[in-house]
Amino acid sequence: MARGMSRHPHFLPIVIALCGMATFSLMDGVMKAASTAIGPYGAMFWRTLISVVLMFPLWQRRRRREGTSGLPEWPILKLHLLRSSVAGCMATLFFYGIVRTPLAEGIALSFLAPLIALFLAAVLLGERIGSRAIGGSVLALGGVAVIAAGKFGGAYHVEAIKGLVAILVSAVLYAWNLVLQRRQAQVAGPEEIAFFQSLIICALLSVGAIWLAPWPTPLQWGELVAAAILGTSSLMLMGWAYARAEAQVLVPLEYTAFIWAALVGWVAFAEPVTLRTLAGVVLIVAGCLVATRRAAQAHPA
């Protein structure tokens, strides 16, 4: 069976993308703690600054290995600027939201993005979206709805409503980010993507850092360093995967992040994992399998 799975034309990119999603979900949990302490703006600024320091030597090593010098060509740099701007707004809004709502709810709302991204991929990348890819995404979205149904029925105070709105706007930006991720991965290496995204977001946030980014405590520095390592690792893993498989193959796998978010929320923030959650997870995994199987049939080895 393992041998059969390894012959799947997108087996390795799928595995790497799953690892990237798990790493990203862990980063979300760490960033929720940091954002609660120093605010989402400050947490994003310091995390990206640390990421720049971590990624610069890796980017330099790759440049020396490839024999290149200087900045990327303008079309590639323009793509870095565009995706980094979108990702920076997306992430700041998302962390603003999860400070005001449980992590699991935030992830559930963000899962509107992969479904939007499937259609954006068709429009912006010229990819043909198969009926099973759409059906699998809808099935996975149904799993999110099952999980979320037990969470969104109560009364919310103003801050919680603001958090939900921020996450919904972030989800739209996330869909655009997913499509740009595919384009970016086709023209730049994982180290370059991670370095320039961190550098550009940090530069954009530095405008307001003196007012909105208080100096972290030693404990908060530890959280921010951990978030930076997890975030850059996820960027590199996802960049590698998206360079080797189409968006419609990998986008449905975004739904598996809820599994990790539920675990992180349970362990770190005492959010319970219910039978409803487990039922939703089954639908999420089933939807991913349906969508990726169709993609494999469309692109035989």
The reported pLDDT for the residue numbered 6 is: 52
Domain count of the fold of the chain: 1
Query: With pLDDT > 70 as the criterion, what percentage of the chain qualifies?
Result: 85
The reported pLDDT for the residue numbered 7 is: 57
pLDDT in tens, 6-49: 556 678 989 999 999 999 889 999 999 999 999 999 999 999 99
Q: Answer whether residue 82 is part of any domain.
A: yes
* Cα end-to-end span (Å), the chain: 17
Output the CA–CA distances (angstroms, integers) from residue 220 to 109, 224, 227, 243, 278, in the order listed.
Answer: 27, 6, 10, 34, 33
Q: Answer whether residue 275 is part of any domain.
A: yes
The reported pLDDT for the residue numbered 199 is: 94
Which band of pLDDT confidence, cut at 50, 70 and 90, is reported for residue 144?
confident
Residue 275, number of CB atoms within 10 A of its CB: 8
The reported pLDDT for the residue numbered 299 is: 46
Q: Answer whether residue 1 is part of any domain.
A: no
Between CA 250 and CA 181 the distance in angstroms is 11
Q: Which of 52, 61, 75, 107 lies closest to 262 in space, CA to CA?
A: 107
Which band of pLDDT confidence, cut at 50, 70 and 90, is reported for residue 115?
low
Q: Answer whether residue 8 is part of any domain.
A: no
- The DSSP line for 80-98 is HHHHHHHHHHHHHHHHHHH
Q: Answer whether residue 132 is part of any domain.
A: yes
The reported pLDDT for the residue numbered 152 is: 54
Q: Answer whether residue 2 is part of any domain.
A: no
Q: Answer whether residue 60 is part of any domain.
A: yes
State which residues form the domain around 114. 13-298
Which band of pLDDT confidence, cut at 50, 70 and 90, is reported for residue 219?
very high
The reported pLDDT for the residue numbered 262 is: 82
- Looking at residue 254, the DSSP 8-state letter turns out to be G
The reported pLDDT for the residue numbered 103 is: 81
The reported pLDDT for the residue numbered 85 is: 93
Between CA 8 and CA 15 the distance in angstroms is 11
Per DSSP, the three-state class of 216 is: coil
Q: Answer whether residue 7 is part of any domain.
A: no
Please say if the pLDDT value at position 156 is more than 60. Answer: no
Measured in residues, the chain has a length of: 301
Higher per-residue pLDDT: 269 or 200: 200
